[in-house]
Structure 1
């Protein structure tokens, strides 16, 4: 049997998935709220991690150690960078993640972790600094399914930050550091933990806003999380009977 863990920072980003799969609370799961469902050959676990990189990393580590998943899916909402080709209500699929504000502020400007020379991960012949690789085959499969299902979706690099960008100038600064289509607050942490455990990771988010001068009247948070959960319901159904994911 396969085991897939789906994580999101808030209940709003998971509730429709839990309802659609008839998942029930898993007793004895420890400090995290975990909901379980069976689907074909697959066990699904839905977990609310809390906001930010620290909560996401703690949760992902506990989940990988305790449940040994075949796939980790990180979801929720995200902000799209202007010029990315994404709009509010679209889906964004990550082909890589990036710790976009881990680095050094120098007199000549911001520099990444490679300046320090200390990687965030070192092992299996890899030295990772800011960029965390994701499984491109898994990402491409999700993108293809979304496109075939009539969803407007785009794949590209994601940037994870500790402070959401509330100005257009901050978004421009992030893009000067790293290429990216979508900003979020947890993805790189989940991706790094999954990578360190040798577990494929898929990150897909609904676009709730553009990275611009903050204007909540232009946001659609509920629509974004509804759309991405609608897609993930189809995605989990589609892969539920695959004999072996990993």
Structure 2
């Protein structure tokens, strides 16, 4: 009775709540990342922010499998677009504006996606990021946050996402990383 190696994972999913660059993505709505972007990984210079790639180190974005992103967005009603990973939550309108200027079309920000994507890439496994919107990116207004609504939306999204993931074959979708 020989032991066989465990089946490798086929996909890593980073899921949670996040802030949205409203009104594109209202509170309680869902976002699936078309790109997972390290928005503040780099260096401040007299001429502005330089991403880590401009410094000649590493990478600052990962692209989940595009067909899977489309299928999950269709199944859940999620908006598909870039999700920014930040190490400091945005708390001012000025910073929110600077992030959008640097990353046009960004739909949301969170704190974990890029780290998860980096780990998945090292394991040579594709990644998907799904976020439910709990708050607007910008000035912190805890009374306006809707964490419960976002978690409910995320739970419902998982029910709709599970069949998509079960039917998805990574070899059907060219993996871009």
Between the aligned partners of 2:148 and 2:7, the Cα distance in structure 1 is: 30
Matched with 1:145 is 75
Does the aligned pair in 2 maintain the 1:78–1:206 contact within 8 Å?
A: yes
Matched with 1:68 is 8
Cα-Cα RMSD = 1.9
* Residue 99 (structure 1) aligned with residue 38 (structure 2): yes
* Residue 114 (structure 1) aligned with residue 53 (structure 2): yes
* Residue 156 (structure 1) aligned with residue 95 (structure 2): no
Matched with 1:236 is 162
Between the aligned partners of 1:210 and 1:117, the Cα distance in structure 2 is: 33
Does the aligned pair in 2 maintain the 1:82–1:212 contact within 8 Å?
A: no
- The answer to which structure, 1 or 2, has the higher relative contact order (CA under 8 A, 6+ apart) is 2
Between the aligned partners of 2:168 and 2:41, the Cα distance in structure 1 is: 39
Matched with 1:216 is 142
Structure 2 counterpart of 1:134, from 55, 61, 64? 64
Write the deviation string for residues 56-95 of structure 1: whole angstroms up to 9, x where unpaired.
xxxxxxxxxx873111111010100135x11000000100
Give the gaps of 5 or more residues in structure 1: 1-65, 120-128, 148-152
Name the structure where strand makes up a greater proportion of residues.
1
Distance 1:243 1:108, change over 3 A: closer
Matched with 2:27 is 88
Between Structure 1 and Structure 2, how many residues are aligned? 165
Shift of 1:165: 0.7
Between the aligned partners of 1:91 and 1:232, the Cα distance in structure 2 is: 11
Give the gaps of 5 or more residues in structure 2: 1-5, 172-177
Write the deviation string for residues 187-242 of structure 1: whole angstroms up to 9, x where unpaired.
011112212322121111100001121111111001101111111123214543x3
Distance 1:239 1:132, change over 3 A: closer
